[in-house]
Structure 1
Amino acid sequence: MPSTEKVARTDAGLASELRLSVMRLRRRLAGERSPDNRLSIGTMAVLGCLNRHGESTIGELARFERVQPPSMTRTVNSLEESGFVERRPHETDGRQVVVALTDQGRDTLRADRARRDAWLARRLTHLTTEERATLRAAAPILQRLAEED
């Protein structure tokens, strides 16, 4: 089996290594969620999207999260029933509503992020200064990869 360093020298090899590493890290971070938080990762992503972008229509949320509007409608219905979001009439388009975080939704999101951030911060202390600098430089690049079509 070829070494990781050798495989990652090609773009295809780098893509494979990044995919595997990012997926493993995602699984580890998901495992660090509070047992009290019963919301799915996808549902939490919608809360995060509302936190980042502010009030949004169902269509906007669907585009941000790359799902179909009917799927987003079901997610928002569930979040609204549980008190994590609320709907308001759209200011200029009477046919639409906007979805906004409630205090409960914001508190749940913050607690979930704080727990996972603390776990990752503890893990980062085991890295060298150079390794942390490399990750600091890579973070915006990874973000850009995640956002591009």
Structure 2
Amino acid sequence: MPELSERDAACISTLRSAVMRLSRRLKNQRVEESLSPTEMSVLATLARCGSATPGELARREHVQPPSMTRIVAMLEEKQLVRREPHPEDRRQVVVSSTEQAEAILDQSRAKRDAWLADLASGLTEEEWAVLRAAAPVLERLAQL
């Protein structure tokens, strides 16, 4: 960990704690109770990044390939993904989301956005200004 001033270390600690609590609360705003958070994450990755091999999905989701194979199989059984032959390497498959999965993700995003907007409606204009400035920075941290 880099050397931080006492003030910056306190900021990091507050940020970690707040992000974790907010994340837990957002995860509770679910549309489809039959899907695990991991399954929802895989569907979101497919929506964000497009079709991928199970190995690519495993790397993006930071899980072992055999675990991803099981997750994909469960999602396929629920008709939320489909496997198709890889266009260049017939030994592999490419996984893509179905329209049903995309509808679930859209509903989930809408529910979570509404919940968060309701929560944020109590902010002052000054707090909104800080939030607007912080959102791109938080997005950048999430991408690193």
Structure 1 length normalisation: TM-score? 0.87
Unaligned 5+ segments in structure 2 are: none
Q: What residue in structure 1 maps to residue 74 of structure 2?
A: 78
1:9 Cα shift? 5.4
1:16 Cα shift? 1.2
- Name the CA distance, whole Å, in 2 between partners of 1:96 and 1:71: 16
Q: What residue in structure 2 maps to residue 68 of structure 1?
A: 64
Q: What residue in structure 2 maps to residue 13 of structure 1?
A: 10
Q: For residues 32-58 of structure 1, what are the alpha-carbon distances to aligned partners after superposition, in whole Å with 9 as ceiling and x for unaligned? A: 223x43211111011000001111111
1:10 Cα shift? 2.5
Q: What residue in structure 1 maps to residue 127 of structure 2?
A: 131
Q: What residue in structure 2 maps to residue 107 of structure 1?
A: 103
Unaligned 5+ segments in structure 1 are: 1-7
Q: What residue in structure 2 maps to residue 47 of structure 1?
A: 43
One-letter code of the match for 2:12? A
What's the % identity of the aligned pairs? 54
Q: State the number of aligned residues.
A: 140
User: Which runs of 4 or more aligned residues in structure 1 lie more than 4 Å from their structure 2 counterparts after TM superposition?
Assistant: none
Secondary structure at the aligned position of 2:95 is classed as strand
Structure 2 length normalisation: TM-score? 0.90
Q: Does 1:33 align with 2:11?
A: no
- Name the CA distance, whole Å, in 2 between partners of 1:136 and 1:62: 33
CA RMSD of aligned residues (A): 1.5
